């Protein structure tokens, strides 16, 4: 997946759109616990912020930690 924002029309699933929306909102910290049905959102966020230094991505150990 490319990290550049695509120009024009793009077809995304709702989960992918949610991940891009979080990134475009310029979040600085993301804390997640991947559970169904949001697992795809967490996976996409991890891919999108993997090479970025300005976003802190943390996997938490439980839902209660969130």
The pTM score is 0.73
In this predicted structure, the answer to whether residue 2 has a pLDDT above a threshold of 50 is no
Taking a C-beta distance cutoff of 8 angstroms, is the pair 28, 50 a contact?
no
In this predicted structure, the answer to whether residue 33 has a pLDDT above a threshold of 50 is yes
CB within 8 Å of 3: residues ≥ 6 apart: 48, 51, 52
In this predicted structure, the answer to whether residue 23 has a pLDDT above a threshold of 80 is yes
């Amino acid at each position: 997946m490319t990290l550049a924002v695509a120009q024009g029309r793009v077809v995304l699933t709702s989960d992918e759109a949610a991940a891009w929306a979080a990134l475009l909102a310029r979040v600085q910290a993301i804390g997640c616990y991947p559970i169904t049905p949001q697992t795809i959102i967490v996976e996409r966020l991890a891919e999108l912020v993997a090479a970025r230094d300005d976003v802190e991505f943390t996997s938490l150990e439980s839902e209660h930690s969130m």
